[in-house]
A and B are shown apart, each in its own frame.
Chain A
Amino acid sequence: MAEDQSFDLAGCLLRVRGRDQEAARQLVDHLYPLVIRIVRSHLPRRVAEEDLAQEIFLKMFTRLDQYQGAVPFPHWVSRIAVTTCIDQLRAQKRRPEFRWADLPENEAEVLQAVTADTAAVAPDESVAAKELVGRLLDELKPEDRMVIQLLDLEQKTLAEISALTGWNQSLIKVRAFRARRKLQKLFAELKKKEGS
Chain B
Amino acid sequence: MKPNPPEWDRLVAAARRAPYDQDMSAPYGFAARVAALSQSADRPGLAFVFQRVSLRAMGLAAALAVAAVAINFTSVRHLFDNQAAAPTQTADDPTSELVDLASS
A residues sitting closer than 8 Å to B (CB atoms) are 19, 21-22, 24-29, 32-33, 36-37, 40, 50, 53-54, 57-58, 61-62, 110-111, 113-115, 117, 120-121, 123, 125-127, 129-130, 132-133, 136, 152-153, 173, 176-177, 180-181, 183-184, 187
Given contacts A40-B21, A126-B18, A132-B15, contact A184 B5 (CB under 8 A): yes
Q: Is the CB of A183 within 8 A of B8?
A: yes
Q: Is B32 an interface residue (CB 8 A)?
A: yes
CB proximity of B26 to chain A, nearest CB, Å: 4
| 3 shortest interchain CB distances as A-B pairs | A61-B38, A24-B35, A129-B14
- B26, A28: Cβ atoms closer than 8 Å: yes
Residue B48 lies at the interface, judged by CB distance under 8 Å to chain A? no
Given A133-B12, A133-B15, A183-B4, is A25 in contact with B25 using a C-beta cutoff of 8 Å? Answer: no
From B4, B15, B32, name the one whose CB has the most chain A CB atoms within 10 angstroms: B15
CB pair A121 B21 closer than 8 Å: no
Number of A-B residue pairs having CB atoms within 8 Å of each other in the complex: 121
Interface of A is mostly: helix
Answer yes or no: B2 CB below 8 A from chain A CBs: yes
Interface majority SS (helix, strand, loop, mixed), chain B: helix
Q: Report the bound CA distance from A183 to B9 in whole Å.
A: 11
Q: Is the CB of B38 within 8 A of A57?
A: yes
Residue on A nearest B12 in the bound complex, by CB: A152
Q: Specify the chain B residue showing the minimal Cβ separation from A123.
A: B17
Q: In the complex, which residues of chain A have a beta carbon less than 8 angstroms from the beta carbon of B15?
A: 126, 129-130, 132-133, 153
Whether B19 sits at the interface, judged by CB under 8 Å, is yes
- In the complex, chain B residues whose CB is within 8 Å of the CB of A53: 30
How many residues belonging to B are interface residues under a CB distance threshold of 8 Å?
36
What is the bound-complex CA distance between A25 and B26, given in angstroms?
Answer: 11
A-B contact pairs, 6 of them (CB 8 A): A21-B35, A28-B34, A111-B11, A127-B18, A176-B2, A180-B3
Name B31's contact: one of A29, A177, A184, A187 (CB within 8 Å): A29
A110 touches B30 (CB 8 A): no
Q: Is the CB of B11 within 8 A of A121?
A: yes
B39 CB-CB contact with A under 8 Å: yes
Can you name the residue of chain B whose Cβ is closest to the Cβ of A1?
Answer: B24
Is the Cβ of A33 less than 8 Å from the Cβ of B24?
yes
* Chain A, Cβ-Cβ closest to B24: A33
What distance in Å separates the Cβ of A4 from its nearest Cβ neighbour in chain B?
Answer: 12
> Measured between alpha carbons, how far is A114 from B4 in the docked complex, in Å?
13
Given A121-B14, A132-B15, A187-B8 contact (CB < 8 Å): yes
